[in-house]
Amino acid sequence: MHHDARQNVSATLVDEVLEKEIRGAGKLTEGARGAGAKVHVLPARPADIEDDGEFHYAVLGPKAASSGKPSAEAKRFVDETTTPEKPRAQNRNAVVLAVPSKDGMDVAREKVRDLLGWEKVREMLKERSDIDTAATTRLEGNLRVARGEMVSQIVMAYSMAVTVNDANDVAAYRINVDNDPLFPKMVGDKRLRIESTAVNAEALLPGGPFDLWSAGENARFVKDLVGAFAATARLPKMLNRSAILETLLQGCEGGEFVLRVTRADQSTRTFWKSRPDDTAVQDSSLEVVLSDAATLTEIDPQLMAPGKLPTLWEKEPITLPDLGVYFSGKHFVAVDKGGYTENLLIPAATPQAIADATASAVKSGRVWLVNGMISVLSEDVPPGFVNESAQLFSPPPPVPSVDVLPAQLAAAWPGDESNAHLIHTALSSKAGKPLPWSRVAHALDEAFRLGLIERTLDSGAWPCDLGGASAVKVRVRKSEAKQSPPSKHYGSKVASAELQIHQVQDFADHIDALREATAGQLLRIRVTLEIGEQGQVDQAVVDKVNGILGQIRAGWKAE
């Protein structure tokens, strides 16, 4: 019955089912997308595979079957885009086709016919009432076996890979197949020259194994270097185009070359030891420029910080002339390459690029600039002071807030009061050079916050710049200077602290614990409440506070 049924299956139906099963055969494409390939299953025409410089993997249908040489149909997908007059140009070397062998496809058709024959038998038996359960079970078993053999044979039929060889000819290669995914087998076949691992930046430069530069060239467009692998048959087929771009970006970050963008007005942006932003990466003018031919018009300010560039900060201070020598285009530094060292040429830079990077590094707090009595950190450098007289230092350590007090800085306190200018001058004298105002201002901020000092009633505004420092008058906080500590009985222990509001609440929450901890001992709690900081406190506020205090203890009030 099955023999007769399969003979009655039309060739058209076999081809329809075969196409459907090829589309659903996951093992033909498994792993391709994850590896970076653009995948096409049964594309109708060569134009369905874009000529875009990307790696494309396509599963062609039975019409492209090969008997050992690439079929005319398969060659069209490699050679053409839309018509024979419009050949594939940007990714001819990056199109890999999976095609069936003719004998394998013939067997696959027979397996499809077997399955369809069993399905016809099932339909015929549905009309009969004399079929027992055993016969039905055998039929379902035959259907399962037929389907499994069909799916397996379809995968096994795709035993040919078609792509260009290193001579730029379209060639067919027989692949050893089984029921494992096909694409990894193609990647592993050295004859196809598919490269799944990223190359290093040095390989893309002159003298590298890929020979991407002509004699005398010192700059190449990034798009051409990235696209060369897809367009040039003698090069490996790079699975992941973006990995080539990433290699170039990392090479720039490593300082192996300069990346340059040319604007419409012919001015340039340069990147060295830094990663270009997305706008630059997407710019078609982005070039790789060899370090000996490059001139930096921009330097990343982060590079100016101590420890960022080899040998730059071997001594302190450094000056702009020192930076000019470093960025002269003739200075080499030894770079550790993991087991060996290599000389790296520092590219030349314009004086303006050096000055701009220095000013930005000072403003960002990475470098401390001293020029005469001008000392700047974390602020804009006054115009004209980034010059040959400027000295550059590592940022000084923060000034502790207690260092502004009379006990540590007597020179700034001629009496009970001082001002921010005197404190800055005295601290600078102690340091041996003018300290940056930002460090002193931060120390004063902390001293105000901690209640170590306070501004007088006639003090100028705070915060301020160095120009207004002499108007900021300060004194040791009254409560700290004049309030005598609580009387201490012989043998007793006293704990004094200034508490924030939330800490007072925490203190109240722990009263029971304190009572238990001091069981058998006399526990006294003295509380001082201080309102306001400068100027007259509104009497209405005092009255409200006294009303609250009186509810806690009769006669307790602020005066």
Cα-based angle 111, 114, 117 (whole degrees, multiple of 5): 150
pLDDT of residue 480: 47
Asked if 194 and 241 touch (Cβ cutoff 8 Å), the reply is no
Task: Say how far apart CA 312 and CA 324 lie, in whole Å.
Answer: 11
Q: What average pLDDT score do residues 198-208 get? A: 92
pLDDT tops 90 at residue 326: yes
Confidence of residue 479 (pLDDT cuts 50, 70, 90): low
pLDDT band for position 527 (50/70/90)?
Answer: confident
Task: Quote the pTM value.
Answer: 0.74
CA 95 to chain centre: 31
Residue holding tokens 């609580």? 486
Diameter over CA atoms, the chain: 121
Distance CA(247)–CA(288), nearest Å, equals: 12
Does residue 47 have a pLDDT over 50? yes
- Count CB atoms within 10 A of the CB of residue 125: 15
Sheet with 453-455: strands ordered across = 417-419, 473-476, 453-455
Say if residue 180's pLDDT is above 60: yes
Q: Would you state the pLDDT for residue 314?
A: 95
Task: Look at residue 484 and tell me whether its pLDDT is greater than 50.
Answer: no
Decide if 406 contacts 414 (C-beta within 8 A): no
* H-helix segments, 25-132: 32-35, 72-79, 102-126
pLDDT > 70? residue 534: no
When pLDDT is averaged across residues 485-505 and rounded to a whole number, the result is 72
Closest CA to 326 of 272, 384, 261, 371: 272
Q: Distance between terminal CA atoms of the chain?
A: 114
Query: pLDDT tens for residues 362-407?
Result: 999 999 999 999 999 999 999 999 999 999 999 999 999 999 999 9
Q: Looking at the predicted structure, is the pLDDT value of residue 42 above 90? A: yes
User: What confidence score (pLDDT) does residue 551 get?
Assistant: 86
Cis status of the peptide bond prior to 317, with omega within 30 of 0: yes
Other beta carbons within 10 angstroms of residue 450's beta carbon come to 13
Q: Is residue 536 over pLDDT 80?
A: no
Structure tokens at 472: 């900021």
Distance CA 430, CA 404 (A): 12
pLDDT at position 490 is 54
Q: Which range scores top for mean pLDDT: 88-92, 196-200, 518-522?
A: 88-92
pLDDT band at 411 (very low <50, low <70, confident <90, very high): very high
Model confidence at 351: pLDDT above 90: yes
CA distance 236 to 195: 6
